[in-house]
Amino acid sequence: MLLDFWRDFGLNLDLALEAHEVVRGDTGQEIPGVEVKKEGYEHTEVTIVKILDKAAEVMMGKPCGVYITIEAPLIKENNPSVHTNISEILAKQFKQFIKVPDYGNILLIGLGNRYATPDALGSKVIESSLVTRHLFNYAPGEVKKGMRSVSALSPGVLGLTGIETAEIIKGVVEKTNPQMVIVIDSLAARSVARIVSTIQIADTGITPGSGIGNQRVGLNQETLGVPVIAIGVPTVVHAAVICQDTIEALLAHLKSKANLYQLSSNLQPNFSREVIMKVLAPFGGNLTVTPKEIDTLINRTARIIAQGISLALHPGLQPEDYNYYLH
């Protein structure tokens, strides 16, 4: 059972899409209290998962809310026009979460450790984001119609600051009084194919570090007092998941060979978990894997997300305006 495997290794399913795949795969039927809708675009596929009640929340292991997943494999390719198109799709999907008046104040938060590349997505997004709060205060003549007041912060991680990330953000929220907080963070995936090719937007906030089993205080409306929208991208996969997928592929291959079918059928049901635990024992069973070109992928994805957020928050801007104000 896939759910048992994830529990054995203490893993979390960061993507609601993957949680739905795992739970539905285990039950073999649709999940009560969960609605799933798909939308197709030229370069992307969008899946909207709505968790509607507490029973579904328990089954999915995720809070009630709306989770939008944008799957765009072409993020990995160097194609600026496609990346702009993905940013526009991100902006379109993100706009439905914006319940802030035109004059509202919005705070962007880039989570993660900027010195650890797979965890640097949040800070990289902040570097490429269009912030305007200072323009409203000190250069109102530069403010174009259709722009909102946006401020940004990349607070670092507990191991570098000695301060809980939630404490830093809560202090900034109290001083700047935003009507909405947007947090960006790196996630963990259960599929290698989804590394840096999938973007999730959720209206449930986020728990920093949950993808690697290092949970901190949650960032959500309950803890911050304002709506919190989370944007995440998988940048790592747990090694145990890769091992499990490899073993399953091997068993499928063995079963396709008549003379090896008996061998695969006689294997103990839990043998794969035992093998994986033995292999990962030097790391306490906890090892994550990321692509060797992750630095390039992070920089590219961060710019796509930053542009998408900026286009959504500033409806009066076009993609070329974003580049103008950024530089």
- What pLDDT digit, counting tens, does each position of 185-197 carry? 999 988 888 999 9
Tokens read off for 244: 């499990």
Min mean pLDDT across 38-42, 77-81, 156-160, 220-224 is at: 156-160
Give the pLDDT score at 10: 62
Give the pLDDT score at 205: 92
Strand partners, 229: 182
Q: Dump pLDDT digits (tens) for 103-140.
A: 789 999 999 999 999 999 999 999 999 998 988 888 88
Please report the sign of the dihedral spanned by the C-alpha atoms of residue 245, residue 249, residue 255, residue 260.
Answer: negative
Angle, CA of 192, 20 and 231, to the nearest 5°: 65
The total number of residues shown for the chain amounts to 327
Cα dihedral 252→254→258→263 (10° resolution): -120
Q: What is the mean pLDDT of the chain?
A: 85
Give whole-number Cα distances, 222 to 132, 217, 218, in Å: 27, 11, 9
> Distance between CA 44 and CA 84 in Å, rounded?
12
pLDDT grade, residue 212 (50/70/90)?
very low
The pLDDT of 135-148, averaged and rounded, is 83
pLDDT grade, residue 258 (50/70/90)?
low
- Among 18, 17, 85, 25, which Cα is nearest to 48's? 17
Min mean pLDDT across 199-208, 259-268, 273-282, 313-322 is at: 259-268
> Distance between CA 36 and CA 14 in Å, rounded?
17
Three-state secondary structure call for residue 50: strand
Burial of 258 (0-12, 13-18, 19+ CB in 10 A): exposed
Tokens read off for 98: 């914006």
Q: Dump pLDDT digits (tens) for 169-184.
A: 999 999 999 999 999 9
Give whole-number Cα distances, 150 to 49, 133, 136, 168, 203, in Å: 28, 5, 9, 18, 19
Q: Answer yes or no: are the C-beta atoms of 191 and 73 closer than 8 Å.
A: no
Q: Answer yes or no: are the C-beta atoms of 101 and 56 closer than 8 Å.
A: no
| Residue 68 confidence (pLDDT) above 70 | yes
> Distance between CA 124 and CA 306 in Å, rounded?
9
User: What domains does the chain contain, in order, with CATH numbers?
Assistant: 2-242+283-326 (3.40.50.1450)
Q: Answer yes or no: are the C-beta atoms of 325 and 103 closer than 8 Å.
A: no
- Among 185, 192, 288, 303, which Cα is nearest to 246's? 192
pLDDT grade, residue 327 (50/70/90)?
low
pLDDT grade, residue 154 (50/70/90)?
very high
String of DSSP letters for 111-138: -S-TTSGGG-HHHHHHHTS---HHHHHH
| Residue 267 confidence (pLDDT) above 70 | no
Give percent of the chain with pLDDT exceeding 70. Answer: 85
More confident residue, 210 or 33: 33
Three-state secondary structure call for residue 139: coil
59-98 b/e (C-beta count within 10 Å ≥ 16 → b): bbbbbebbbbbbbbeebbeeeeebbbbbbbbbbbbbeebb
